[in-house]
Every structure is written in C-alpha cells, then in structure tokens.
C-alpha cells in the first residue's frame, strides 16, 4: 500500500515499462507523476489512470537536460508535495543502431550513457535531500539483464546499465541510515516498442534462451517495482531483482 498517497514520480512513463509502473503505483494509491518527452502518450496514460480512479499528473521534459529536470522536480514538489518514490525508468538501448563494438560510434556511447545512466543520477539528485530530511523514501532504478549477461551488440548499453547497478548499491549504503531504500529491477526481454526495433535474429536467439519460454510484459516489471515501492520491502535495499524468465540466474 502507498504511504498516505505519497507522490511517486516515474520517468520515461509515456509508454512501455514506465507507463505500466505508473499505472500500477497509482492503482496502489500513490499520486503518480509521469515524466517523458511524448506528450500525446503521457496524456493518454494519465487519462487511463483517471478512468480507474487513480490520481496522476504529467510533465513534458527532456530528462537528459539537467536544468529542465531541476525545474520540473521543483514544480512537482511545490504543486503535489514531497516525493516519496522515484522510479528511474527512462533509458534506451541502441535499437536499430545495435552493432558489435568494433564498428560502433562514439556518439552512440555518449547517448547511451546520457539517457540510461546520467538521467538516473540527475533525477535521484533531486529527491535525495528531501528523503534524507524526512527519513523516508524509495528509489527504484530500472537496469537491465544486459548489465549481468554482457549482451552482444549492446556494449555501451550494458556499460550504462552496469553503472546503474553500481550507483544503486552505493546510494543504498549512503541512505540506509536515513531509512531510504534504493533497489534496482533488471528486466529481460519485455514486449515494448524497443523490442520491435532490435534486429530480429538477436531477439529470436535471446527468446530461445528464456527457460520460461515467453517474453515478459511491462506489467511483470511493474509488479516488482510495486514491491520495492511498498512497506513490504522495508528490509530490502541495495538489491537487484532480475525479471527475465530465468534467462540469467543470480
């Protein structure tokens, strides 16, 4: 259950995993706030949440723009109140630009690190001071099984998501004495728009390695996020939960 309808911010939440997470948190009683660049789908997501009796709002923001992020989070706190939960979901694989490292381009590395790692740091920086002061809060970072498997044709993405895992563990240690937990969810192949953009041979090979025999849905990831956002996870911090059908086992 939510903590007195606290504000839960979900980044990259216009589609896919982020959207499913926002919907689930709103269903659990949180006042969900969705951040993304895709205004049309943000509006649709908020409308869906409203239709089932949840509370939600949104802001259109480029999450790689630090100053824009700072302004947006300040506005959320002013209009909605303290942020109790942050889900750092925004990120992106190389998609149609996926290739082996030897022929990848440095501009792609920069983009991967900016969108899949730096956004997590930038957004977390906005909520940590308040969580420390209140001695309460949940930060949930969406990583990827690629950080653990070492996926082919995803070197820069895997490197960025490995950074997310290291950040999760370090920040969890820093904030534990303030009763703030920091955990990560590492999805495997999940049925999103991004999956459709990957080379088909790569996807087929990966699916053949999933012991459960099927691709996950965004809601499967949202279930894990809901656990880390709840009081049921109060004794869990610094952990990474793989949600990948058993393709990689801890």
Domain ranges of the chain: 7-243
Mark whether 157 is an active-site residue.
yes
Q: Is 55 helix (H, G, I), strand (E, B) or coil?
A: strand
CA 170 to chain centre: 17
For residues 99 and 200, the model is more confident at 200
Which pLDDT tens digit goes with each residue over 117-139?
999 999 999 999 999 999 999 99
Structural tokens at position 118? 């730096």
pTM above 0.85, yes or no: yes
Number of helices (H), then strands (E), belonging to the chain: the values are: 10, 7
68, 39, 66, 71: which is closest to 57 by C-alpha?
39
Structural tokens at position 246? 């058993």
Q: State the architecture of 7-243 in CATH terms.
A: 3-Layer(aba) Sandwich (3.40)
On the question of pLDDT at 248 being above 90, the answer is no
* Alpha carbons 56 and 76: distance in angstroms, whole number: 12
Of 58, 157, 189, 235, the catalytic one is 157
* Alpha carbons 37 and 151: distance in angstroms, whole number: 28
Question: Around 37, how many Cα atoms within 13 Å sit in the side-chain half-sphere?
Answer: 8
Dihedral sign for Cα 78, 128, 131, 7, please: positive
183, 160, 222, 215: which is closest to 15 by C-alpha?
222
Residues paired with residue 53 on neighbouring β-strands, in sequence order: none
| Cβ neighbours of 231 (radius 10 Å) | 10
- What pLDDT sits at residue 203? 72
Which pLDDT tens digit goes with each residue over 64-120?
999 999 999 999 999 999 999 999 999 766 556 666 766 778 888 898 899 999 999
């Amino acid at each position: 259950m939510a903590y007195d309808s606290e504000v839960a911010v979900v980044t990259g939440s216009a589609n896919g995993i982020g959207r499913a997470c926002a919907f689930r948190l709103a269903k659990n009683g949180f006042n969900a706030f969705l951040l993304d660049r895709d205004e049309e789908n943000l509006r649709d997501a908020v409308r869906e949440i409203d239709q089932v009796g949840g509370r939600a709002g949104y802001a259109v923001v480029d999450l790689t723009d630090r100053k824009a992020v700072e302004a947006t989070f300040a506005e959320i706190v002013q209009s909605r109140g303290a942020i109790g939960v942050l889900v750092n979901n925004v990120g992106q694989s190389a998609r149609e630009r996926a290739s082996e490292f030897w022929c990848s381009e440095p501009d792609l590395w920069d983009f991967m690190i900016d969108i899949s790692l730096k956004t997590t740091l930038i957004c977390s920086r906005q909520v940590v001071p308040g969580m420390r002061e209140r001695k309460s809060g949940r930060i949930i970072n969406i990583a990827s099984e690629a950080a653990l498997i070492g996926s082919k044709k995803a070197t820069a993405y895997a490197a960025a998501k490995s950074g997310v895992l290291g950040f999760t563990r370090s920040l969890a240690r820093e904030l534990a004495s303030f009763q703030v937990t920091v955990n990560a969810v590492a999805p495997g192949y999940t049925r999103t728009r991004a999956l459709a953009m990957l080379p088909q041979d790569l996807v087929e090979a990966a699916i053949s390695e999933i012991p459960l025999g099927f691709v996950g849905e965004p809601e499967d990831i949202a279930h894990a996020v809901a656990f880390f956002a709840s009081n049921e996870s109060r004794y869990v911090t610094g952990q990474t939960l793989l949600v990948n059908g058993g393709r990689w086992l801890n």
